[in-house]
């Protein structure tokens, strides 16, 4: 027990928007979906990824000298250019970087190590908070996450996950058994559109929605939809989602998450294109109004 | 309430006020008229008090000092002009109208011949040429060779004097920072219940009876108490005359007043001034006027650092307020207007610091504390109607004076914390929080009787006083930990501004430093060197103040002084609390702890650098060596709940605690404190680069806080680090100032209020001493720096006080911007 290893890419302390109270949020690395708007692009691949944080870089060039694989170069404007296909993931450049501008996304930790790091901060629990596992997709590492959450639950700490529900029910069950709260995304109701925008079909997700509370009635289930311009920000699509959610047994609440472009710098760090570049953030108040109407439509009021 | 929209992100109540042009205004129009008059003025140096004080002192040289002081206070109160300003409902000033700075030549008069004309050239204060001329003719000549500061300089060992002042005896920031004689006493909380509830006549009679008793029995050994009692009576006589002069002037004004409403008001005010302070106050308005008369007497007598604190205002003011409410004699609205009138009165008396030091207590710092909440003398929660009214007053009228200091304890009601959290969210930094659970325990460990410990009040930045058992507190100074570390690593050499000197020889030469323990061992010697000099300056100051200062009015209100019939400046007397007789303040704790972490990690644990390589980079201020600076910046840091880094900080705290514990000054043992006010900016500007990646001549860390921007793991982690790094080896450490800065989004909505309440509950549980929480959007601060004219009402938390952002120096503004802003995650 406690020796299972999982791969995370971040721990965020003092999270105030990922469940009740003040929380520590753990981000797992790897996700079966490839949502074009993904706000954590560094979470998608399970493999380690090199990031270059331009703002931190002092331009000393020690990383270029360190790399023995020719995976790093310098553009005319001074930017560090990466050739991921040549990178051997030796991380020598990360270790040598003085300014911590070269960064690796992904770290392997055991359940015990991770628990130890978080339990070091018991004050968050004392303020009615707890632990949230996000991602990436926590269910991709279901054994690890299940064991971790069980450890917190044993001491009465509130546990939550943020999930796509895109996993076999076997995996859902392993984690749900130790959850106080599950935030599950319903991004699109139409299977074809879902496949187009996220890379996967939504039939498994829908089936898990239907089954979850039947097997785990104690868990609080909150469905969420990120409202994305040009993808699902219209009445027809949101209405279809609401109509599906109306059929979900035991649904406790439904939240719309307005689009924001905070992820843009992370795409830049990873050197990948961002389809929503310079798209303005969505108005929170109007989204909140739509949210209220949809809650009513689902019968949550 | 904070308002969130996507474009503007989240605005605090204060930012909303700035955006819609309301500034600091109150819902009450008359308050706003007075506010606008005040805000249009720079504080004016007012010489009235200095002239009258000197006139009297010149005529009384044959008497004992305490009696001379009593006669001088009476002379001031009997002769200072009566000034009644438009629309006032509380009256009395200690000089002319408007925003004034009375002068206290007995402290540092030697500075004025040069300092007054120089001040006239700058923007901060208004100085009239005719006032300079009068001052130079009637005041300055008398004080030559007689001031407290001259006595102090004469009593101090030369080496200590050099370290503090270098070649500028009227500066304050050498290798140590020194506040001596800039004020006469540090952190005093006034006592008001005796004047309000018993009245001056009864108190005077008590003094006269005692005097008669002693005079009738010359053999009983108390004959030396006579001058003290005579001085007390002189002060009371002065107060009675002062009030009578106001009553007469109010009657004259009433007779001439055309507006029937104001006429009636003036007649009522005349009646009030006839009633108080002579007799006990019968209602809330009378109590407020009596309160202000007492504050006038405190200010006539002395310049108190931190101003006159209001003690536990909600405790002694509530009974008359509630009585008036029950009898239908007062509305909440008028009670709020009276409070606003007093806040404006306090804001109008601005201290003037006779010093060449820049960065000294910026933004016209004065710290009048209004303490509310906490437990009563029996340990029960003391919250009452007035507690809530004060919080409401600061919300409706966010003037930066007085400070509101909310005492919190395990049993503080949820509703009170809710009201406090909502006030915090306004973004002006009110209230600041003091932790009963820690403070009362600490006082009891030092032998303070339980009832007194429970009755403490905030005074100064983050310090406390028990005004009926504490006595005089000499002014402190600040020891520069960053300079001590430089000496420890460089054979005793330290930079100081443009100077570079060898001050001592640490046991281990730089070339022989082989381990982190060697570094700590040298550091201990260097800190000890400073503590030693600090105690010498403390002793010199204590002797000076005992010989050169007296305060019969202040003493007359204190139980312990009246029991002993002794002036408060004699300090150590039977029954008094003899522990907290002075501050040994340390500056740059975070800077030093982080630099030690760098050295330990890079040189002795990971062997990435040799000590020589590290010191070369630091000693060249990282010139052409930005990569190594980055390396130092990225070592695990104090402030992030990192056990390894916090252990280094704890060792440092323990070392300092032991060194302070091992030494005493004339008045006895001293408490270790981390209260910089703004001296971390001034000292930092003269201090060399440090191994935490800090450039030379930039600010040091503040109070007990980590370096600005180094605590990146949220406010809970910062608080945990401070709890973990407090050594608690002796109960001689207190007053640890902690500033938290939050982005408004973190505390938005009702959830944000609840999270903030929980943060404060954690502060109580972790047994921290003090916390204050500033809530701003960084871009608002940046805009205010660029366009001060649009942000002249923006109030920010500085140290233990709030000030107008635009009245701070550019480097202090930069320090506040650089503080870590805990954002929404």
Encode pLDDT of B488-527 as tens digits.
999 999 998 888 999 999 999 999 999 999 999 999 999 9
Residues of B serving a catalytic function are 461, 463
- The DSSP 8-state label assigned to residue A134 in this structure reads E
Cβ <8 Å between B716 and A128: no
Model pLDDT, residue B372: 98
How does DSSP assign A12-33, residue by residue? Answer: EEEE-SSSSSSEEEEEES--S-
- The residues on A that touch B, with CB distances below 8 Å, are 12-17, 21-22, 25, 56, 58, 60, 62, 98-100, 120-121, 123-124, 126-129, 258, 281-285
A100:B630 CB<8 A: yes
- Closest-CA distance of chain A to residue B421, Å: 15
- Say if the Cβ atoms of B751 and A121 lie within 8 Å: no
Q: How far apart (Å, rounded) are the C-alpha atoms in residues B383 and B380?
A: 9
**Interchain proximity B825–A12, CB inside 8 Å:** yes
> What residue of A is the nearest CA neighbor of B626?
A58
Our CA-based measurement puts residue B22 at a distance from the nearest CA of chain A, in whole angstroms, of 25
Point out the residue among B627, B641, B715 whose CB comes nearest to the CB of A58: B627
Residues on chain B touching A121 (C-beta within 8 angstroms): 641, 716-717, 720
| Candidates A25, A127, A282; nearest CB to B755 | A127
Kindly tell me if the per-residue pLDDT of B476 is higher than 60.
yes
Measure CB to CB from residue A282 to each of B6, B752, B762 and give the nearest one: B6
Contact flag A126-B765 (C-beta cutoff 8 Å): yes
Residues of chain B in contact with residue A127, where contact means CB-CB under 8 angstroms, are 716, 755, 758-759, 761-762
A25·B719 Cβ contact <8 A? no
Nearest Cα residue in chain B from A62: B627
- A220-227 and B821-822 strand pairing: unpaired
pTM, 2 dp: 0.87
Q: How far is A26 from chain B (nearest CA, A)?
A: 12
- Taking an 8 Å cut-off on Cβ atoms, the answer to whether B643 and A126 are in contact is no
End-to-end Cα separation, chain B, in angstroms: 21
User: For residue B356, what are the CA distances in angstroms to B122, B140, B353, B479?
Assistant: 13, 18, 9, 19
B717 inside 8 A of chain A by CB: yes
Q: Decide if A14 and B713 are in contact by the 8 Å CB cutoff.
A: yes
Chain B residue with minimum CA distance to A124: B716
- Nearest-Cα distance to chain A for B123, in Å, is 39
Query: B7: nearest CA in chain A?
Result: A283
Asked if A284 lies within 8 A of B5 by C-beta distance, the reply is yes
pLDDT in tens, A150-199: 999 988 889 999 999 999 999 999 999 999 999 999 999 999 999 999 99
Contact at 8 Å (CB) between B185 and B304?
A: yes
Of A17, A58, A120, the CB nearest to B626: A58
Q: Tell me whether the omega of the peptide bond preceding residue B432 falls within 30 degrees of 0, making it cis.
A: no
Give the Cα separation of B481 and B584 in Å (integer).
12
Compare CB distances from A126 to B6, B631, B762 and report the shortest one's residue: B762
Tokens of B561: 């002084």
Q: What percent of chain B has pLDDT over 70?
A: 96
Beta-carbon separation of B630 and A99 below 8 A: yes
Question: Which residues on chain B are in Cβ contact (under 8 Å) with A16?
Answer: 746, 751-752, 755, 824-825
Which are the contacts of A257, defined by CB distance < 8 A and separation ≥ 6? A224, A225, A226, A227
Closest-approach residue (CA) in chain B for A288? B5
Q: Considering only residues 675 to 714 of chain B, which have any Cβ-Cβ distance to chain A shorter than 8 Å?
A: 713-714
Instruction: Say if residue B825's pLDDT is above 70.
Output: no
Which segment of B140-144, B759-763, B811-815 scores lowest on mean pLDDT? B811-815
Q: A120, A123, A255: best mutation site toward chain B, by most B Cβ within 10 Å? A: A123
Residue B8: CB atoms within 10 A of its CB come to 12
Residue B669 or residue B547, greater confidence: B547
Q: What are phi and psi of B507, to 5 degrees?
A: -60, -40
Tell me if residue B397 falls in helix, strand or coil. Answer: coil
Q: Do B714 and A14 touch (CB under 8 A)?
A: yes
- Cα–Cα dist B717/B756, whole Å: 15
Q: What is the pLDDT of residue B579?
A: 79
Nearest chain A residue to B721 by CA distance is A121
CA gap B107, B143 in Å, rounded = 9
Residues of chain B contacting A285 with CB distance shorter than 8 Å: 5-6
Contact B460, B675 (CB under 8 A): yes
- Residue B15: the pLDDT is 85
In chain A, what are the domains?
5-46+106-298 (3.20.20.70), 49-103 (3.30.70.20)
Our CA-based measurement puts residue B713 at a distance from the nearest CA of chain A, in whole angstroms, of 6
- Stretch B403-418: mean pLDDT: 95
Contact criterion met (CB < 8 Å) for B717 and A283: no
Span A23-36, average pLDDT:
94
Please compute Rg for chain B using Cα positions: 26
All residues of chain A having their beta carbon less than 8 Å from the beta carbon of residue B631 are: 98
How confident is residue B601, by pLDDT bands cut at 50, 70 and 90?
very high
Pick from B76-90, B270-284, B491-505, B776-790: least confident: B776-790
Please list every residue in chain B whose beta carbon sits closer than 8 Å to the beta carbon of residue A279: none
Q: What integer pLDDT is reported at residue A127 of this predicted model?
A: 61
Contacts with A129 from chain B: Cβ below 8 Å = 758
- Note the pLDDT of residue B359: 46
Question: Could you read off the pLDDT of B23-81 as tens digits, one per residue?
Answer: 888 999 999 999 988 888 889 999 999 999 999 999 999 999 999 999 999 999 999 99
DSSP code for B805: G
* B805 vs B199 pLDDT, higher one: B199
Sheet containing B733-736: give its strands across: B176-178, B477-480, B583-587, B671-674, B733-736
Q: What is the mean pLDDT of chain B?
A: 90
- What ipTM, to 2 d.p.? 0.75
CB atoms A60 and B627 under 8 Å: yes
Spell out a b/e string for B538-554, using b for 16 or more CB atoms within 10 Å of the CB, else e.
Answer: bbbbbbbbbebbbbbbb
Report the alpha-carbon distance of residue B574 to residue A295 in Å, rounded. Answer: 72
**B637: its two tokens:** 């840091």
Nearest Cα to Cα of residue A126 among B47, B94, B713, B760:
B760
Quick check: helix, strand or coil at residue A269? helix
Name the helix (H) or strand (E) containing B268. Answer: helix B260-275
Instruction: For residue B822, give the nearest of A14, A258, A281 by CB distance.
Output: A14
Quick one: how far is CA B126 from the chain centroid?
24
Is the separation of the CB atoms in B538 and B665 below 8 Å? yes
CB spacing of A127 vs B758 below 8 angstroms: yes
Compute the average pLDDT of residues B603-615: 96
Q: Mean pLDDT of all residues in chain A? A: 92
Q: What per-residue confidence (pLDDT) applies to B133?
A: 97
Maximum mean pLDDT: which of B291-295, B457-461, B672-676: B291-295
Instruction: Categorize the per-residue pLDDT at B358 as very low, low, confident or very high, splitting at 50, 70 and 90.
Output: low
Residue A23 Cα, gap to closest chain B Cα (Å):
10
Predicted local distance difference test score (pLDDT) of residue B693: 95
The Cα B180–Cα B545 span in angstroms is: 10
B624 inside 8 A of chain A by CB: no
CB within 8 Å: A121 and B716: yes
Instruction: Please list every residue in chain A whose beta carbon sits closer than 8 Å to the beta carbon of residue B626.
Output: 58, 60, 98
Nearest-Cα residue of chain B relative to residue A119: B641
Supply the pLDDT for residue B1: 32
Residue B442 tokens read as 């600490």
3-state class of B12 per DSSP? coil
Residue B376 has pLDDT above 50, yes or no: yes
| Closest CA of chain B from A237, distance in Å | 24
Quote the pLDDT of residue B236: 98
Q: Do B627 and A98 touch (CB under 8 A)?
A: yes
Tens-digit pLDDT profile for residues A40-99: 999 999 999 988 888 889 889 999 999 999 999 998 888 888 888 898 889 999 999 999
Residue B74, class by beta-carbon neighbours within 10 Å (0-12 exposed, 13-18 middle, 19+ buried)? Answer: buried
B762 contacts A100? CB cut-off 8 A: no
Q: What phi and psi, each to the nearest 5 degrees, are found at residue B127?
A: -130, 120
Most confident of the ranges B33-37, B231-235, B684-688: B231-235
Contacts of A124 in chain B (CB under 8 A): 716
Task: Inform me whether the pLDDT recorded for B649 exceeds 80.
Answer: yes
Tokens of B184: 């006469």
CA dihedral over B567, B570, B571, B572, signed as positive or negative: negative
Distance from CA of B699 to the nearest CA of A (A): 22
Spatial CB neighbours of A158, under 8 Å, sequence gap ≥ 6: A19, A20, A21, A125, A128, A129, A130, A131, A180, A181
């Amino acid at each position: 027990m406690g020796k299972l290893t999982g791969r995370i890419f971040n721990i965020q302390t003092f999270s105030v928007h990922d469940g009740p109270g003040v929380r520590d949020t753990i981000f797992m690395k790897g996700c079966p979906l490839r949502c074009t708007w993904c706000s954590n692009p560094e979470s998608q691949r399970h493999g380690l990824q090199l990031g270059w944080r331009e703002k931190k870089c002092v331009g000393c060039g020690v990383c270029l000298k360190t790399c023995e694989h020719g995976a790093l170069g310098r553009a005319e404007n001074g930017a560090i250019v990466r050739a991921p296909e040549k990178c051997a993931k030796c991380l020598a450049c990360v270790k040598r970087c003085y300014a911590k501008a070269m960064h690796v996304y992904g770290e392997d930790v055991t359940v015990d190590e991770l628990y130890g790091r978080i339990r070091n901060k018991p004050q968050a629990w004392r303020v009615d908070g707890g632990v949230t596992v996000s991602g990436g997709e926590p269910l991709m590492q279901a054994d690890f996450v299940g064991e971790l959450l069980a450890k917190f639950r044993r001491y009465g700490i509130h546990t939550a996950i943020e999930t796509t529900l895109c996993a076999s029910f076997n995996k859902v069950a392993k984690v749900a058994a130790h959850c106080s709260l599950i935030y599950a995304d319903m991004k699109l109701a139409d299977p074809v559109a879902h496949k187009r925008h996220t890379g996967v079909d939504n039939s498994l997700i829908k089936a898990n929605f239907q089954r979850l509370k039947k097997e785990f009635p104690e868990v609080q289930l909150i469905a969420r939809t990120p409202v994305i311009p040009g993808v699902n920000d219209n009445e027809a699509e949101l209405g279809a989602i609401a109509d599906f959610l109306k059929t979900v047994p035991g649904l406790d609440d439904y939240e719309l998450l307005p689009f924001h472009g905070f992820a843009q710098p992370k795409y830049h760090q990873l050197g990948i294109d961002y389809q929503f570049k310079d798209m303005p953030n969505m108005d929170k108040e109007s989204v909140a109004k739509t949210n209220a109407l949809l809650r009513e439509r689902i019968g949550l009021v | 309430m904070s308002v969130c929209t996507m474009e503007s992100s989240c605005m605090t109540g204060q930012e909303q006020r700035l955006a819609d042009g309301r500034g600091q205004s109150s819902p009450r129009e008359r308050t706003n008229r007075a506010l606008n008059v005040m805000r249009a003025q720079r504080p004016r140096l007012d010489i009235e008090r200095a002239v009258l004080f000197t006139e009297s002192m010149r005529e009384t040289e044959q008497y004992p000092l305490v009696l001379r002081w009593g006669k001088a206070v009476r002379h001031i109160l009997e002769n200072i002009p009566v000034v009644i300003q438009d629309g006032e409902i509380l009256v009395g000033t200690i000089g002319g109208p408007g925003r004034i700075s009375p002068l206290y030549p007995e402290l540092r008069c030697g500075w004025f011949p040069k300092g007054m004309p120089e001040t006239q050239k700058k923007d901060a204060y208004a100085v009239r040429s005719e006032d300079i001329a009068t001052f130079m003719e009637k005041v300055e000549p008398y004080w030559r060779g007689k001031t407290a500061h001259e006595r102090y300089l004469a009593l101090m060992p030369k080496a200590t004097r050099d370290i503090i002042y270098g070649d500028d005896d009227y500066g304050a920031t050498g290798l140590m920072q020194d506040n001596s004689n800039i004020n006469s006493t540090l952190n005093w909380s006034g006592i008001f219940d005796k004047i309000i509830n018993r009245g001056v006549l009864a108190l005077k009679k008590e003094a006269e009876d005692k005097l008669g008793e002693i005079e009738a029995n010359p053999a009983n050994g108390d004959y030396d108490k006579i001058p003290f009692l005579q001085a007390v009576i002189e002060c009371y006589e002065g107060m009675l005359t002062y009030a009578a002069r106001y009553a007469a002037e109010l009657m004259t004004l009433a007779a001439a007043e055309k507006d029937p409403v104001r006429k009636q008001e003036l007649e009522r005010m005349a009646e009030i001034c006839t009633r108080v302070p002579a007799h006990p106050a019968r209602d809330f308005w009378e109590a407020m006027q009596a309160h202000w008369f007492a504050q006038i007497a405190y200010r006539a007598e002395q310049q108190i650092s931190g101003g006159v604190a209001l003690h536990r205002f909600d405790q002694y003011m509530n009974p008359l307020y509630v009585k008036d409410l029950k009898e239908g004699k007062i509305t909440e609205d008028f009670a709020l207007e009276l409070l606003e009138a007093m806040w404006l009165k306090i804001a109008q008396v601005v201290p003037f610091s006779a010093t060449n030091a820049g960065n000294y207590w910026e933004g016209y710092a004065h710290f009048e504390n209004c303490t509310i909440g906490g437990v009563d003398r029996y340990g029960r929660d003391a919250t009452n109607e007035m507690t809530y009214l004060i919080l409401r007053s600061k919300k409706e009228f966010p003037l930066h004076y007085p400070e509101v200091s909310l005492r919190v304890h395990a049993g503080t009601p949820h509703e009170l914390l809710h009201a406090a959290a909502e006030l915090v969210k306004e973004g002006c930094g009110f209230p600041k929080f003091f932790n009963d659970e820690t403070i009362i325990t600490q006082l009891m460990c030092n032998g303070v009787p339980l009832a007194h410990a429970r009755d403490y009040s905030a005074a100064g930045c983050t310090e406390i006083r028990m005004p009926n058992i504490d006595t005089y507190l000499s002014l402190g100074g600040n020891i520069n930990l960053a300079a001590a570390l430089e000496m420890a690593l460089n054979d005793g050499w330290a930079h100081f501004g443009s100077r570079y000197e060898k001050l001592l020889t640490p046991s281990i030469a730089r070339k022989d430093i082989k381990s982190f323990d060697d570094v700590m061992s040298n550091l201990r010697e260097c800190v000890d060197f400073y503590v030693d000099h600090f105690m010498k300056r403390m002793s010199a100051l204590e002797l000076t103040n005992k010989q050169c200062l007296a305060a019969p009015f202040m003493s007359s209100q204190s139980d312990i002084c009246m029991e002993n019939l002794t002036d408060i400046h004699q300090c150590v007397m039977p029954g008094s609390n003899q522990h907290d007789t002075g501050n040994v303040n340390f500056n740059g704790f975070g800077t030093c702890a982080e630099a030690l972490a760098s050295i330990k990690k890079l040189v002795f644990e990971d062997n990435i650098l040799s000590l020589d390589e590290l010191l070369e980079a630091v000693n060249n201020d990282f010139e052409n060596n930005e990569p190594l600076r980055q390396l130092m910046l990225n070592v695990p840091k104090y402030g992030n709940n990192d056990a390894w880094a916090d252990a280094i900080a704890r060792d440092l705290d323990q070392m300092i605690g032991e060194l302070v514990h091992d030494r005493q000054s004339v008045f006895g043992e001293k408490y270790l404190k981390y209260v910089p006010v703004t001296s971390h900016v001034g000292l930092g500007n003269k201090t060399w680069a440090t191994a935490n990646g800090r450039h030379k001549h930039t600010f040091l860390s503040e109070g007990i806080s980590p370096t600005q921007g180094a605590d990146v793991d949220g406010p809970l982690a910062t608080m945990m680090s401070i709890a973990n790094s407090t050594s608690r080896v002796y109960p001689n450490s207190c007053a640890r100032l902690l500033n938290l800065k939050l982005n408004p989004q973190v505390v938005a909505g009702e959830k944000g209020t609840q999270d903030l309440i929980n943060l404060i509950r954690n502060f109580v549980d972790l047994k921290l001493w003090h916390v204050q929480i500033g809530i701003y959007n960084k871009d608002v601060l940046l805009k205010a720096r660029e366009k001060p004219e649009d942000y002249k009402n923006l109030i920010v938390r500085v140290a233990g006080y709030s000030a107008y952002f635009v009245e701070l120096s550019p480097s202090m503004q930069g320090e506040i911007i650089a503080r870590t802003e805990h954002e929404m995650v």
